[in-house]
Structure 1
Amino acid sequence: MDLRQLKKEVEGLPRVDTAISDFQQNWVKLLRVNSNSHLPFVQVFSSDVRKQINSYLGPFQNLMLEIRQGQNINEKLFHYARSLVELKLTTLNGDARKAKLITTRLLKDEVFNMAQTIEEVREFEHNVTKLSKVYAVVNEIMEEHLSLEEKIHFTQLPHRKYVETLVKTAAVQKQLMGEVGKQFVSLVGKR
């Protein structure tokens, strides 16, 4: 992948904050008794089923806050793509001083150092995997207590696509961060 393609891929990443907000609106809110009057089947769950679901949803709020921070990774990847283009241009122009400045910024900056972002990508992927597992477990619990018609109605709601978007975004971020690293090593090796 060349730098132009890398930049285009980064620009095409879906917004994590929007996906998690839409997921909250279309799934988490549905499971709350006070906010789901249009889904009467959720309101008739026994108190045991509600307690079981709520036991998963309690820690879920913190997890979603952490996942929302995944948007920062998108922004860092965009910064890296721009910086790599700038590094390539400065290398081609023979401006060693500016190239060193860009390299140092990418390696040692408090916010934009690449090692920290690699760790953030791993953490984001871990959190999205955890969200996906909790989502599957809670859906399984609900489906055990729903009629066939209610299951069909519930599964046709758009919540699944938001989880899939987050899972895909985590995988693409990981792949793009690897590509950023390869491009960086390639450019620094040419100097």
Structure 2
Amino acid sequence: MASRLLCFNKPYGVLSQFTPEGRWHGLKDFIDIPGIYVAGRLDADSEGLLLLTNDGKLQARISDPRYKMEKTYWVQVEGEPDDAALERLRHGVQLNDGPTLPARAQRMEAPANLWQRDPPVRFRQSIPTSWLELVIREGRNRQVRRMTAAVGYPTLRLVRAAIGPYTLEGLAPGTLRDVPLP
């Protein structure tokens, strides 16, 4: 069987596994291709790019932190991060499981053509929200959420926009496409 690499836009509420659990859906609700596996994970309450492949070596290369494949996230946070918070993210943040590697962090406008989330993100009239773009090379459990909380700006919505050269561009939630192998 020929090797395949697929990009999937994982909706909110879907696990990075084929089997559903509790209130969360599984990938089997969206993907019916035998012999493919997830390369890396994305929490059920996060959205965006997930890579899948039928090639075990490629799966390891994508998901193993030793290969340092960059992951780009669009993060809607509560509040408006100041320059000091961005600098902390850029230098690495101390988390309960140790310091993070430095991230690329910048403010951004709300992503163009971003779909509505179901259910919608909670809003509080007295607290503004803003968007950040964070690029990291690690993949610890809930790392981006913990990083923004550590600098005082809790994450409200998290969308993975890219993994290395692969992006969400043109990919609606719940859809997938084959991409060329690296």
TM-score, shorter chain, exceeding 0.5: no
TM-score, structure 2 normalization: 0.21
* Higher strand content, 1 or 2: 2
Q: Which has the higher contact order (CA 8 A, sep 6+)?
A: 1
Q: Which has the higher helix share?
A: 1
